[in-house]
Amino acid sequence: MPSNTAAWLEKVGAIPLDVKSAPYTSPTEHQIVIKSKAVAINPADWAIQVKGNILFPWLAYPYIGGSDVAGEVYEIGSSVTRFKVGDRVIGLALCLSGGSEGAFQEYTVLRDHMTSHIPQGMSYESASAIPLGLSTAASGLFQKGLLGLQLPSISPKPTGKSLLIWGGSTSVGCNAIQLAVGAGYEVITTCSPKNFAYVKTLGASQAFDYNSPTIIPDLISAFAVTKKPLAGALAIAAKAPAKTLDKDPAMACVAVVAASDGANKFVACATFPPAEDELPEGVSAKFCMAGSIKDDEVGPAMFVDFLPKALEEGSFVAAPEAEVFGKGLESIQGAFDVQMKGVSAKKIVVSL
Ligand SMILES: NC(=O)c1ccc[n+]([C@@H]2O[C@H](COP(=O)([O-])OP(=O)(O)OC[C@H]3O[C@@H](n4cnc5c(N)ncnc54)[C@H](OP(=O)(O)O)[C@@H]3O)[C@@H](O)[C@H]2O)c1
C-alpha cells in the first residue's frame, strides 16, 4: 500500500490548507484509485474553506476537498471492467462524500461510472478542467426535473429548438455550450465581448454582452429570429449581483423565457435559484447539482457513453483553457486565491 499525502482543511476558516499524510484507501467493487497528476480549482473549493459550515453543514473536518482530477489508474475494484492500471483518466471526485474521494491528494478514489479515459494527446492539466463543469451542466441540461433535454451524441441530430446559456465563458458554461450543441440545440449565450469569439468556437451561434442595458430585449429578439422554440435556460454566473431583473443571471433568464412565445418556461440554475414568489406565473426555476448525476442515468450517459468518444474524436474539447498555477499540493492554496479573485474563460490548475 503506498503512502498518501493530502491538502487538508483542518476546520472552516483554516488557512492555508495543511499538507500532510493521509490514509490510502483501496477501491470497493465499482471504484478505482488514481494517482493524481493534475487538479483544477472551482469556486466551491475556496467557498468551503471560508464558509463550509453554512454551505454544506454535514461536512466532517478535517476535510479533503477538490472535485476535478486527472491522473493514472493505480488500482481497480473487483467489478471494474472499463479501466486497467496505467490508463489515463479524468473523473468527478465526490469530495462531499468523504475524505478518500476528495481530489486534493496523491491517491483519489473515483467511481467507475463517473470516470472517463482521456486521449493520448491531451495533457492531464487540460483534461482536469472538465469534470465539475461538465457534471453541473449535465445536471441542469439533462436531468429529469431540470431541463430534461435530449442527450448529446457525437453525431448530433438537430432538435429544431434553441437554448439560452447565461454565462457561456464560465467553466460550467463552456461545458454546457458543447453538451447542448452536441444534443442538437442552437445555443445563444452571454459573456463579455472579449469572449464572444471563444464561446462561438465551442458552438454557440450568437453571444451577447451580459452587461448591456438592453440584454433582455436583445435576447428575446434573437430567439424570436431563430424561429426555434426555446427549450429553456441554464443560468450560470460566478457572481450574482443584486437581484434586479436585468442583472441577476437567473432572473434575467426568467425574463427571457417568460417573454418568449412557445418557450419551455424553465430555468436551471447553477447558483441559488430565485424564490418561488419572485417568479412570474408559469415560470419555474430549480437548482442543479453536479454530484447528483452520480445517482441517475445522466452520470453514465456523460462519463461512460459520451465523453470518452467525443474527446477522442475531438467533438468535445477541454474548456475553458487551463492555466497552470503551480506544482504540488502546497500550490493549491495559492491557486484558490487566484480563482477567488476572478477568472475569465480560464481554469486554474495545479500539476501534481
Ligand atoms: N451547482 C453546482 O453543482 C455547481 C458546480 C460548479 C459551479 N457552480 C457555480 O456555478 C458558478 C460558475 O462556476 P464556474 O466555476 O463555472 O465559474 P468561473 O469559471 O469561475 O466563472 C468566471 C466567469 O464568470 C463570468 N461571469 C461573471 N459574472 C457574470 C454574469 N453576471 N453573467 C454571466 N457571466 C458572468 C465571467 O465571464 P466574462 O469573463 O466573459 O465576463 C467569467 O468568464 C459559480 O457560482 C459556482 O459556484 C455550481
Protein residue with least CA distance to atom 25, ligand 1: 170
Q: Is 182 in the pocket of ligand 1 (CB under 6 A)?
A: no
Q: Find the 173 Cα to ligand 1 centroid distance in Å.
A: 8
Q: What whole-number distance in Å separates Cα of residue 52 and Cα of residue 216?
A: 34
What letter does residue 169 receive in the DSSP assignment?
A: T
Cβ neighbours for 83, distance < 8 A, ≥ 6 positions apart: 32, 73, 76, 89, 112, 115, 117
Give, for all 352 residues of the chain, the pLDDT tens digit. Answer: 899 999 999 999 999 999 999 999 999 999 999 999 999 999 999 999 998 878 888 899 999 999 999 999 999 999 999 999 999 999 999 998 878 999 999 999 999 999 999 999 999 999 999 999 999 999 999 999 999 999 999 999 999 999 999 999 999 999 999 999 999 999 999 999 999 999 999 999 999 999 999 999 999 999 999 999 999 999 998 555 455 555 689 999 999 999 999 999 999 999 989 999 999 999 999 999 999 999 999 999 999 999 999 999 999 999 999 999 999 999 999 999 999 999 999 999 999 9
Q: Is 199 in the pocket of ligand 1 (CB under 6 A)?
A: no
What letter does residue 151 receive in the DSSP assignment?
A: P
Q: Find the 30 Cα to ligand 1 centroid distance in Å.
A: 32
Q: Is 167 in the pocket of ligand 1 (CB under 6 A)?
A: yes
Residues 238 and 155: beta-carbon distance below 8 Å: no
Q: Is 171 in the pocket of ligand 1 (CB under 6 A)?
A: yes
Name the residue of 56, 92, 172 to mutate for ligand 1: max ligand atoms within 8 A of Cβ.
172
All structural domains of the chain: 4-130+318-351 (3.90.180.10), 134-290 (3.40.50.720)
Q: In Å, how far from its chain's centre is CA 198?
A: 18
pLDDT of residue 242: 52
